[in-house]
Amino acid sequence: MKLQRIDGGFHTTVPCKVNLALRVNGCREDGYHELETIMLAVGLCDELEFRPDSTGEFQLQIDFSDAELLAPDDPAWDVPDDARNLVIKGIEAVARAFETNKLGRKLGGNLRLKKRIPSQAGLGGGSADGAAAIMLGAIASVGESFSWKTHFPVCQQVAASLGSDLNFFLEGRASTDTWVATCRGRGELINPIDATVNGWLVVAHPPAGCSTKEVFARLRLGKNQDHTVSNVLESLKSEQLTSLGNSLFNDLEEAASQVTPYIERVRNWFDRYDHLGQCMSGSGSARFCLCDNREQAEIIANDIRSKGVRAYAVQPWMQPSMASQLTAMWLSEP
Ligand code: C5P
């Protein structure tokens, strides 16, 4: 995510993610599945603003003016603005953790979320917003004394307690580079990958969502072993876009196909175009294909859009490390 100061508070732009590989390695005793996945941040972004006060109460306003509505009951924008939203959960949890441990001041305030990432898509939109809220809450609570040793681990713990994908959005590489990482455990154990992805992606999201819980419930383990996470990792490290395109896979695809026919439908549409490879993201229903240039990505996105499906031509997301962003932010004028 990218952070900046604004009048009376803070602003962050937070990307979504696609899964370049997703392996399910079995079911755990706690009911979650053990994952090994590679997540790539891409430039379809939400924005979150926070104007803090010390009331102890948080209000959330959501701006859907950039949200593309495909049907009157389009599940993509079925996003609550109350305590069910990960923005409120995240900021309340981090404020509580800091206050209880005497790490920061009492916090409340107004949050304004500009929504562009569709939900129930497997793009991590809700998790991205939740991670942004945790970071904004932490910074507002402790100000310039925010410490990577003392405060950041609390942010990581809060993120992991709220979902499997939040931690990916909290972190970033040590340079201005593609944010891509291997995520293990439930998805919350993050290991950055030293690679640059120079391609373009088309992310397509139909007017039908997939509930993550439902997709995992339909999963039959032990299939689709033709692909491996290490193939994807090697293609990334050698920066071979063609072999990256060939090695994309997602073990949840068959289960998600039982939830909505759009998974197959969009796969068939993508198959008609010239690209380097395609795959479902997360637990669906979004799919993406990889292209080596912007022109081709835009041609595919425009065509898919004409079929009544949201489609975005996007690039991998680059971001400077959080540490360097924070230093620059405190030095800048709001
Ligand atoms: O943690 P998150 O909110 O993303 O997960 C939503 C649901 O997806 C969980 O309640 C669980 O049923 C399923 N899930 C899983 N294994 C994972 C991640 C999620 O079974 N690693």
Ligand 1: residue whose CA is nearest its atom 18: 186
Angle between helices 152-162 and 125-142 (to 10 degrees): 150
Share of the chain above pLDDT 70, in %: 99
Neighbours of 73 (CB within 10 A): 9
Q: How many CB atoms lie within 10 A of CB 149?
A: 6
The reply to whether ligand 1 has any atom less than 6 angstroms from the CB of 164 is yes
Predicted confidence band of residue 224 (pLDDT cuts 50, 70, 90)? low
Span from the CA of 75 to the centroid of ligand 1 (angstroms): 19
> How far is 153 from 157, CA to CA, in rounded Å?
6
Distance 141 CA to ligand 1 centre (A): 30
Query: Is the distance from the beta carbon of residue 33 to the nearest atom of ligand 1 less than 6 Å?
Result: yes
- The answer to whether the predicted template modeling score (pTM) of the entire model surpasses 0.75 is yes
Is 183 a pocket residue for ligand 1 (Cβ < 6 Å)? no
Best CA proximity match to 140, nearest among 113, 185, 105: 105
The residue nearest atom 9 of ligand 1, judged by CA position, is 213
User: What's the rounded mean pLDDT across residues 72-95?
Assistant: 94
Q: With a cut of 60, say whether residue 259 has pLDDT above it.
A: yes
Residue nearest to ligand 1 atom 12, measured at CA: 213
CA distances (Å), origin 135, targets 4, 138, 331:
12, 5, 18
Say how many Å lie between the CA of residue 281 and the centre of ligand 1.
14
Q: Please, are residues 158 and 87 in contact by the beta-carbon 8 Å criterion?
A: no
**Residue 29 CA to ligand 1 centre (angstroms):** 13
CA angle 188, 14, 6 (to 5 degrees): 130
pLDDT tens string 264-273: 999 999 999 9
| Model confidence pLDDT, tens digit, residues 10-58 | 999 999 999 999 999 999 999 999 999 999 999 999 999 999 999 999 9
Bigger pLDDT: 74 vs 94: 94
Location of structure tokens 């079925």: 78
The whole-number pLDDT of residue 173 equals 79
